[in-house]
A and B are shown apart, each in its own frame.
Chain A
Amino acid sequence: MAQLTQRAATFQRTLSAAAFSVSSTRCLNTASTSPITVETSLPFTGHKIDPPSRSVETTPQELLSFFRDMALMRRMEIAADSLYKAKLIRGFCHLYDGQEAVAVGMEAAITKKDCIITAYRDHCIFLGRGGTLLEAFAELMGRKDGCSKGKGGSMHFYKKEGGFYGGHGIVGAQVPLGCGLAFAQKYSKDENVTFAMYGDGAANQGQLFEALNMAALWDLPAILVCENNHYGMGTAEWRAAKSPAYYKRGDYVPGLKVDGMDALAVKQACKFAKEYALKNGPIILEMDTYRYHGHSMSDPGSTYRTRDEISGIRQERDPIERIRKLILSHDLATEKELKDTEKEVRKEVDEAIAQAKESPLPDPSELFTNVYVKGLGVEAFGADRKELRAVLP
């Protein structure tokens, strides 16, 4: 009897959804904003600070949007893998699949006036900050509709108007840069914060500690977020760091260890960190996360970790599956509706790729644009200086 009722309810919901011809998006729009409280799967661990509560306030709408956004990011990265193998993407391509909860949870806790800066595993952060799939794929393929007009590539996505400052290829450099953003925010009395993201490999960089010292000295609203996926390229954290407790590495700067595969835990931690940083200066968040792909598309990712480890994480801790289970257990949507969302998202990604493929390569004149903001009428030369030259605009 109970089964029949459930099926009837599902059927009804699907019917009403189908009747309006767009299933999950409509679901999202009409989903309730009445609060639900969810417990994070793991408690937070604090270093020199009392951690926030495990109980996170959320809404059905937020959970559904988490699901959709992460599914979109996942699909984008998988599609990028195929494009790279088809040689439509060249050079370096570092994929984020597995780590989506960090991008999505962070966005839920902050505004576009807060700044985010990260390293080269930046496609999903870009999307979270308001970047479009077309801008991302076109940039990956080096076309003029890319967010950097095709001149940056995978590691150099930016969106200043969305508070996203890139997109950096040199390990660790983005951390002092992030503290600089925080410096400017404080200087301008903006009441906003900066999230400077880095990996466990970068966590040992000296410049991080230099910048952290200054951030602490000057009470900058800087939140250092270590996305600990446990491997710096091919080197496991225990081989690179004497102390892999990255949330404690700030010493005099407090830290929080967070389950980075739990979008709600990430959201809670970022909300907590923002409040803290605005009043007290820097704090470190260590997100315990995992990347399914290797370091980049040139790295199989299986010479330094076992396939069992990778599939184990996928089974036990996948961020999208976690939200799916949560949505289903709270009856916020049916399995079919969620699958439909995934289908929609896949379609969106395919359409964006098709559009990106139509986008042309940048015009040759773009070789010489944007070297400076103000070129002063100086000449710049091509490889053969008597054949190709331009006056810098």
Chain B
Amino acid sequence: MLKILRQKAAAAPLLRTVVLSSRNYSASAKEMTVREALNSALDEEMSADHRVFLMGEEVGEYQGAYKVTQGLLQKYGPERVVDTPITEAGFTGIGVGAAYYGLRPVVEFMTFNFAMQAIDNIINSAAKTNYMSSGNISVPIVFRGPNGAAAGVGAQHSQCYAAWYGAIPGLKVLTPYSSEDAHGLLKAAIRDPDPVVFLENELLYGESFPVSEEVLDAGFSTPIGKAKIEKEGKDVSIVAFSKMVGFSLKAAEILAKDGIDAEVINLRSIRPLDRSMINASVRKTNRLVTVEEGFPQHGVGAEICALIVEDSFDYLDAPVERIAGADVPMPYAANLERMALPQVEDIVRATKRACYRSIPMSAST
């Protein structure tokens, strides 16, 4: 899996300069890993606003379980970079309480699997409070950490929570892909007055992406709720988020050789979902493939399919294709794990079906 990502990383700069029209690169485009992008976003926001503080397991002295918070304890001190015991329910509640009072906590979950211990405080104490209090108490908190599958970490450490959090009114849910996404969206999340669930991906932390001068400016942030067209196309829309964007771009390269010009959309924001961009894309291409790592039933792809049917039914020339994680707990064995997660060939195959380039199979009744 990592090999695929590395190949994509090498191809990406070329792809972007050729295809994207909206970006102007300065002569010296800098490369930055997602990890560095997150680290610098935290650094800049902590520097700009004293109310911002970090909390989580191993975020301080250990320099971060995945080194995302490296150097921040040294720079800001233990009052602002707080190492917690292994007690998610407790420290999440503490974070939300601090946000009630007016601070701006950034709570790290070592993975979002562990956030299930704290989900009551995320949903009932953070997400719903502004509404229940009629605007009296707002909750400017960010919950961040790796989400989804890593490599060989088994059933309890591999779940994707995008669909679950994406269902909750009161939450904003972000899923960065590139370094620019990670940097701009995290800054936006920290500045946002509402609770934000920021779903990162462990396997993307080490990936390098070019970032423009604009992104490096301390005042920069990416608007929340706007998807991004990573690659323009006219034949079919592939909608993905997080790591699957990289896989979709790879699939698009392969499909191009077969004469299929795919448009790849990076959602960036699960909630709010950029309905207008998705609709605009499908109205242009008339075909849709959704890609996600999480479980298929009640997933992000299911919601996208529903919204297309509601808003752009007449524009569809083919049934919507869904690629998702397999409907099983994540197995450990390498061959089974590979089968349980979407691969580039799955995206290629589904896209060809959507373009009637293979014999269509209907799903079972």
**A residues near B, CB below 8 A?**
90-92, 142-144, 148, 150-156, 168-172, 201-202, 204-207, 232-235, 239-241, 303-304, 361-362, 364, 366-368, 371, 379-389
Contact = CB atoms under 8 A, between A and B. Distances in A.
Contacts of A233: 57-58, 62, 65, 86
A381 B340 CA distance: 9
Contact of B83 (A144, A201, A235, A303): A235
B89 A382 contact: no
A155 B343 CA distance: 26
A169 B363 CA distance: 35
B333 A383 contact: no
Contacts of B154: 91-92, 152-156, 169
Given A153-B332, A155-B156, A385 B341 contact: no
A170 B117 contact: yes
B20 interface: no
Interface stretch (B24-32, B228-236, B317-325): B317-325
Interface string B273-301: 00000000000000000000000100000
B336 A383 contact: no
Given A303-B62, A362-B333, A382 B152 contact: no
B336 A367 contact: yes
Contacts of B14: none
Given A367-B328, A380-B327, A383-B324, 20 more contacts: A91-B151, A91-B157, A92-B157, A151-B331, A152-B155, A154-B154, A156-B156, A169-B113, A169-B156, A169-B157, A170-B116, A232-B85, A232-B86, A233-B57, A234-B61, A367-B331, A371-B328, A382-B339, A383-B342, A386-B321
B325 A383 contact: yes
A153 B155 CA distance: 9
Contacts of A156: 154-156, 332
Contacts of B335: 361-362, 364
A304 B61 contact: yes
A129 B98 CA distance: 46
B7 interface: no
Given A202-B86, A234-B62, A383-B346, A150 B117 contact: no
A254 B329 CA distance: 39
A391 to B, nearest CB: 10
B350 A235 contact: no
Contacts, number: 163
A170 B181 CA distance: 30
Given A90-B152, A91-B154, A385 B333 contact: no
Nearest to A172: B86
B334 interface: yes
Given A151-B331, A170-B113, A204 B86 contact: yes
Given A239-B83, A385-B322, A368 B334 contact: no
B353 interface: yes
Contacts of A361: 333-336
B150 interface: yes
B153 interface: yes
Nearest to A148: B332
Contact of B85 (A153, A154, A235, A362): A235
A204 B326 contact: no
6 contacts: A204-B90, A206-B89, A304-B62, A379-B364, A382-B339, A385-B363
A78 to B, nearest CB: 21
Given A90-B151, A90-B334, A153-B154, A241 B364 contact: no
Interface in B52-93: 57-58, 61-62, 65, 83, 85-87, 89-90
Contacts of A169: 113, 154, 156-157
Contacts of A240: 85-86
A206 B151 CA distance: 30
A136 to B, nearest CB: 13
Contacts of A172: 86, 117
B132 interface: no
B361 interface: yes
Contacts of B8: none
A149 to B, nearest CB: 8
B349 interface: yes
Contacts of B86: 171-172, 201-202, 204-205, 232-233, 240
B350 to A, nearest CB: 6
Contacts of B315: none
B324 A91 contact: no
Contacts of A364: 335-336, 339
B114 interface: yes
A150 B83 contact: no
A368 to B, nearest CB: 6
B121 to A, nearest CB: 12
A152 B331 CA distance: 6
A126 to B, nearest CB: 15
Nearest to B326: A382
A151 B62 contact: no
Nearest to A233: B58
A204 B363 contact: no
A142 B152 contact: yes
B331 A366 contact: yes
B361 A151 contact: no
Nearest to A90: B152
A87 to B, nearest CB: 10
Contact of A381 (B113, B326, B349): B326
A362 B338 CA distance: 12
Given A142-B332, A361-B335, A385-B363, A241 B85 contact: yes
Contact of B87 (A142, A152, A206, A239): A206
Contacts of A388: 326, 339
Contacts of B328: 367-368, 371, 380
